[in-house]
Amino acid sequence: MRKIDEQKKIKITEAVITLVERDGLTNLTTAKVAKTAGVSPATLYIYYQDKTDMLSRIYELVKDELHVGLLERLAGDAGQTGQQLKTIMAFSVAQYRRYPRRAQFIQTLWTNPEVLDERARQHGTELTTALGQLFQEVSQSSDYAALSQPALELLLATPGQLLLRQPQVSDKELTTLYLGIIRAVQR
């Protein structure tokens, strides 16, 4: 078995993000990824089983990178569900502004779930995560509408989607949007 070279894996990740941004998902091939990353096509198969596995694992990695620090912020709002919902949205917007290419990559894959495996589609929203626990609290609370997890995820993703479409959106408009979404899910 060949040794994992983390630098090559990083180059592959960056190549995938670049190619998805530049050419879209439909034109993404492992050959293009290998060429852009400066590795042999066989190298990709050291790290990933196939294109779906590659996209899924990179999606998980980038999603985790974008969520670094979220748990600490949510912990500061423990017991305040509405504030936690606002914190998630504001945190996501801050990360989208800080890492726009990575945010766009996540958005592209999130809106094309058929290219991801089931593990990747569920990544980060399991009940073992703070986000999963918050979704459960909202769904069980009599203070909030009985929304499915995908519906709530979609609502919470709205500020990030607005930011991706309109990068210069003001903080004031985003705050108004956060509050509007929270009111929309309250009973």
Phi, psi at residue 40, to the nearest 5°?
-75, 150
Domain ranges of the chain: 6-62, 69-185
CATH number of 6-62: 1.10.10.60
Of 179, 168, 46, residue with least CA distance to 100:
168
This prediction has a pTM of 0.86
pLDDT for residue 130: 67
Q: What is the pLDDT of residues 144-174, one digit of tens each?
A: 988 888 888 889 999 998 998 898 999 999 9
Measured between alpha carbons, how far is 39 from 13 in angstroms, rounded to an integer? 12
